[in-house]
Structure 1
Amino acid sequence: MTTMTLPAVTRANPSVFTQLTAAALALLFITLLWSLVDPRLLDDVPVWMKPAKFSLSFVVHFATLALITAALSPASRKSRLIGVAGAVMAVAFLTEMAYLFLQAAQAEHSHFNLSTPFHFMAYQVMGLGAVLLIAMPILVAHVARRETGLGAGTRAGIWWGALVSFGLTLVVAGYMSNGTGHFVGTPSPGAATIPFLGWSAEVGDLRPAHFLSLHALQLLPLIGLWADRTGRPARIIPAAATVYALITFGVFAQALMGLPLIRL
């Protein structure tokens, strides 16, 4: 697999995923800048923190897909599957971020907010968009899986990364979205949290498992690339995917028992 930096991808492969990466970076910059002049809090957290975190997550998500598509042959990059994936993800991304910005501007919750028919409908649309955003990389991975220019380990890593991320996220995020919040238990006022991430260090928190489920898409392709460069067989990828899934389910079960990832 060809190693490319994101600027190189932008020059060599100005795909929809590169453009989406740039858009997410722009939104991240806007949220950080806006937070400097809007100090309002929601549940003791700056109102623009959630849009900022989502923007950063989208930067990683789309940059990963931009790097994958940049490593494909020109014919594969023009695949209809990649075009469909890019278009669907662009609509889902813009819809999701528009609602997050709207709710932050009003200092209202975007998630678990069913207070009015509008908020109920918007939350359902966000859920559908989230499913599409984790499902569409499977189309990209399917194209990459047939790419003879990539090593066997890299192809396996991309394929298993997309599948595992989709499956784990459906379970963890699906469970979380059907509840009333991401905590299992009630944290006391001013309770300790893990720095920057904001995960509870006092009660169970479903977000660490959600984080792990999303980022199989990054880790497993890297393991595949490492396998190709070190001469390891591609069959280690399914084994790595299994271990990763077990770790994620372990963190998920820990949260369901009301235990924090790390107690501070």
Structure 2
Amino acid sequence: MNNDESLTQENDYRVPALQRGMAIVQMFSAQQRTLGMSDIAERLGLSISAIYRIVHTLNEMGYLRKLAKNTYELGPQVVSDGFSYLASRDIVDIALPHLNALRDRTSLSCHLSIREQTDSLYIYRAFAAQRLSVNIPIGTRIPCHCTAMGRVLLTGLSPAALDNLYQHVRLDDYPPPAPKTLPELQQLILKDRERGWVLHRSDYSVAIACGIHNHLGEVVAAINLSGPESVMDSPVARERFRESLQESAQAIARELGGNWIK
């Protein structure tokens, strides 16, 4: 078999619709967050009618999300099933030594998370090997409004974006101190944003969290210090832990080329 025959055979195995679908998803980036149907068609060199079913299928599967008539952004499915974790490797690699050092200084467990829709996804932990240590495995997802790191991640959203994210989410199924209504959540996040950090108590443990900001001032991740209530109960100790946590967040943000907000 010559090279031309081999190339023809390889082309026979291609699925054009799948190829176009993947090409559409790859068109979106941090610089190109939204695209119209006509933009997509033009980039592929096809007519709108030729790509309509592909775009509709991607939207139905959650890989695209329709914002307005014929306007789309990447959908939640792109960052689910491990995609967010893979895309976050840079921040894990940068944060890892800082969180390990923070754990060693404080003897408390540290975690790193990013937001996936309404969940806080844990992507790294520096585990403090103590009898009463808090140990949340990598890959764990917890609703943002129920945790310190999750609430920090929500502070990166505008009030309108927060309202849009939670407009169809029930909040009254979660135990206190989680907010029960969207207005209550909005007020809580407003105060969290002004404070610049969050303290959360649950099951005899306490967590303090703050955000990691990029060069645009956007919250791209959150880190925490968490430990037993008996260790974190002292106001003096909590203040010391908070300062150490924020110093680590500042160092991570600098390496990411980002800002420090509060």
Same fold (TM over 0.5): no
- The normalised TM-score by structure 2 is 0.28
Structure with the bigger RCO (C-alpha within 8 Å, sep 6+) is 1
Larger helix proportion of the pair: 1
- The normalised TM-score by structure 1 is 0.28
Greater C-alpha radius of gyration: 2
